[in-house]
Amino acid sequence: MTPTGSALTAGVIGQPIGHSLSPLMMSRWIQDAGLDAIYTPYIATPHMFAPIVSALFRAGLKGLNVTLPHKTEALRLSHRISDRAERIGAANLLTSIDGEVHADNTDAIGFISALRTSGHDPAAKNALVLGAGGAARAIVDGLIEAGVSGLTICNRSRARAESMRADLAPNAHIGTWDERNDALLEADIVVNATSLGLSDQPELGMDWSQAKSSAIIADSVYVPLETGFLRTASEAGLTTVDGLGMLIEQGRPSFTAFFGQEAPETTDIRSLLIQALATRS
Ligand code: NDP
């Protein structure tokens, strides 16, 4: 329906924000659900993030998805923080409830739901996570909650991997960045949670020869949809899961938090987003 003056409002805030697929995804869900609602992109410099969030919530906004570079700052301005956002140290979802800002993180659920939607349950599996930044922290938290039996972390900076282990995964094994190919021997699930492979970044090079033939190879990057990491894994005969599923599945709980109902399944949202990505390249 066409939004009225009583429309519920929500949005996504970041810098840059022009590339975000969230407005397209959320607006289609709003349309399919027949809601009187609007979802808008907002740009904010780090300096302006807190005042803009505060003004938007005072003006009646229901909630915000938060993207780079504000996910850590989002915690600092919140009155209430979910346990998982606290553990991960970042929030991608802010909601306004009774005048208070609530922070949550749906990236962890998003990653696990994307794996499960693709038919892969991480429970009782050995996982290898490459990276130790914000996305890796969410993915590691999700994998632990999903019941992985073992976890190895390889990151370029060992100190960051150790800090992640201390905060989230005390039983994890830490390998050096150069040991990532050897770590494939034991891994049932391998995740690229680095920014390598993004369209403006170098590829994450792997030698898949030691990987289990049954291993599932997942990427957090979705621009491009098929990174070199996934393409080479696929060429080696391994099963792959791209990063778009994580984006869609982190959006579903956000939609529910904003509008009080589940995102409809009417539209093939994945095809819609793939189409949008294709027109940009
Ligand atoms: P961060 O900047 O927090 O972390 C970047 C990570 O990449 C670090 O582990 C860093 O290692 C590693 N890295 C960067 N450059 C190199 C390099 N040249 N060699 C080896 N390692 C490198 O970013 P985020 O964690 O926030 O984001 C990571 C990715 O996750 C992004 O591509 C983002 O698009 C994606 N993402 C996807 C989502 C989705 O819904 N699909 C949601 C959120 C994020 P070091 O610690 O040594 O610097």
Q: Distance, CA 42 to ligand 1 centroid (Å)? A: 23
Q: What is the mean pLDDT of residues 155-181?
A: 97
DSSP alpha helix (H) spans, 73-214: 73-76, 83-88, 107-117, 134-145, 158-168
pLDDT reported for residue 200:
87
Please write the tens of the pLDDT for every residue from 226-277: 999 999 999 999 999 999 999 999 999 999 999 999 999 999 999 999 999 9
Count of CB atoms situated within 10 Å of the CB of 59: 8
Regarding the beta carbon of 188 and ligand 1, being less than 6 Å apart is answered no
pLDDT score, position 281: 65
Q: Establish whether residue 216 lines the binding site of ligand 1, counting it when its CB lies within 6 angstroms of any ligand atom.
A: no
195 CA → ligand 1 middle, Å: 3
d(CA 16, CA 183): 35
Q: Atom of ligand 1 at shortest distance to CA of 132?
A: 9
pLDDT in tens, 71-128: 999 999 999 999 999 999 999 999 999 999 999 999 999 999 999 999 999 999 999 9
Query: Is 71 annotated in the active site?
Result: yes
pLDDT at 280 over 90: no
Distance in angstroms (rounded) separating the CA atoms of residues 139 and 112: 8
State pLDDT tens for residues 114-143. Answer: 999 999 999 999 999 999 999 999 999 999
* Mean pLDDT value across residues 168-179: 97
pLDDT of 167 higher than 80: yes
Ligand 1 in contact with 132 (CB < 6 A)?
yes
Q: Is 110 in the pocket of ligand 1 (CB under 6 A)?
A: yes
pTM: 0.95
Instruction: Report how far ligand 1's centroid is from the alpha carbon of 72 (Å).
Output: 14
- The verdict on whether omega for the bond into residue 41 sits within 30 degrees of 0, i.e. cis, is no
Proportion of the chain above pLDDT 70, given as a percent: 100
Confidence at residue 221, expressed as pLDDT on a 0 to 100 scale: 95
Quick one: pLDDT at residue 223? Answer: 92
Domains delineated in the chain: 8-105+247-280 (3.40.50.10860), 108-242 (3.40.50.720)
Q: What mean pLDDT is reported for the chain?
A: 96
